[in-house]
Amino acid sequence: MRTRLALFARFFLGFSVVILFVPGVRSQDGAATAQPTTSEIVQRLVAENQQRSQKLGVYTSRRHYHVAYHGFPHAAEADMVVDAVCNGPGSKQFDVISESGSHVLVDHVLKKLLRAEQDDSHHRSDSALTPANYTFTLLRTEIDGGRPVYVLTVEPKQSHGLLYRGTIWVDAQDYAVVKLNAEPAKSPSFWIRNVQINRQYEKAGDFWLPRSDRSETKVRLGGVATLTIDYDDYRFVSTEAIDSPAWQVPAAP
């Protein structure tokens, strides 16, 4: 059981960390224009992501993690609630509020996932959603949540664990990624047969930020592992609050 869970941990510490880096984009007001080309959409997406990194600032959120394994030799589940502090690009800190269920899954999947996110947040350019890493193709325009979106496929230019292939939905006004369905560009292990990931975003204030993640992993010898992350209670922290002696950043687990 521990060996198989270790394989799942390898996956979660690779591809699941990558999806955490798929950026939200700051909202902008603008009049409707003719449908842009694929290249124009990507250029706007990259530009908005850069603006987000500069203007988003410090924010906090609460995350609810749930991981479940069903298969040989028996089922196991675990839950963890985490307060997150994001202080600009490459700086994340976490405070574990509660944990329950399988200690193997908590210690070897969920907590390692947090540490990997902290470590890898310094290397965002390796997996950034840019023409340097991906080839984009515009499929169609549709309505999602009452808003027009561009639907594009993304194909990695290299085959390594920090990239993915799949479909993204880009808000036609804000040029923000609002939904993602994908799989890793490279399988994290021979034992992993199939991986599917779905991420949903929501608008918090002027920014698009993650609302939920769901990834499902199937292994060659049977069994399925599912990881879900729900995000809520986004709060934006002012510069004055950061400078205050009362401001304390939670320590990493």
Confidence of residue 24 (pLDDT cuts 50, 70, 90): very low
Continuous segment of H or E residues that includes residue 203: strand 192-204
Which residue shows structure tokens 């002027």? 206
Q: Note whether residue 140 is domain-resident.
A: yes
pLDDT at 187: 63
Alpha carbon 66 to its chain centroid, in Å, reads 15
The better pLDDT of the pair 101, 90 is held by 101
248 within some domain: no
- Beta carbons of 66 and 79 less than 8 angstroms apart: yes
Domain assignment of residue 249, yes or no: no
Query: In which domain, by residue range, is 212 found?
Result: 2-234
User: Residue 249's pLDDT is what?
Assistant: 40
Q: Is residue 240 part of a domain?
A: no
DSSP 26: B
Query: What is the C-alpha to C-alpha distance for residues 114 and 58, in angstroms, rounded to an integer?
Result: 18
What's the half-sphere exposure (Cβ side, CA atoms, 13 Å) at 25?
24
Q: State residue 182's pLDDT score.
A: 93
Lowest mean pLDDT among 46-50, 59-63, 147-151: 46-50
More confident residue, 24 or 180: 180
Span between the terminal Cα atoms of the chain, in Å: 24
What does the pLDDT read at residue 253? 42
Residues 116-136 have pLDDT tens digits of: 888 766 556 677 899 999 999
Residue 243 falls within a domain, yes or no?
no
**Domain presence at residue 244:** no
The answer as to whether 54 is a domain residue is: yes
Q: pTM of the prediction?
A: 0.79
Q: Compute φ and ψ for 163, nearest 5 degrees.
A: -115, 165
pLDDT at 14: 44
176: buried, middle or exposed (CB in 10 Å: 19+, 13-18, 0-12)? buried
239 in a structural domain: no
Residue 95 neighbours by CB distance under 10 Å: 18
pLDDT band per the 50, 70, 90 thresholds, residue 219: confident
Contacts 24+ apart (CB under 8 A), 127-131: 127/18, 127/21, 127/162, 127/163, 128/21, 128/23, 128/49, 129/22, 129/23, 129/45, 129/46, 129/49, 129/154, 129/168, 129/177, 130/42, 130/46, 131/42, 131/46
- What are the residues whose beta carbons fall under 8 Å from the beta carbon of 17, sequence distance 6 or more? 113, 116, 117, 120
Count of the separate structural domains present in the chain: 1
Closest to 150 measured CA to CA, from 232, 43, 50: 43
- pLDDT at residue 92 is higher than 90: no
In 10 A of CB 248, how many CB atoms?
9
- The mean pLDDT value of the chain amounts to 80
Confidence of residue 81 (pLDDT cuts 50, 70, 90): very high
pLDDT band at 227 (very low <50, low <70, confident <90, very high): very high
Residue with the larger pLDDT of the pair 29 and 91: 91
Check residues 145 and 221 and name the one with the higher pLDDT: 145
Residues counted in the chain: 253
What pLDDT is recorded for position 122? 57
pLDDT in tens, 181-213: 998 887 666 556 678 899 999 998 888 999 999
Buried b (16+ CB within 10 A) or exposed e, 143-168: eeeeeebbbbbbebeeeebbbbbbeb
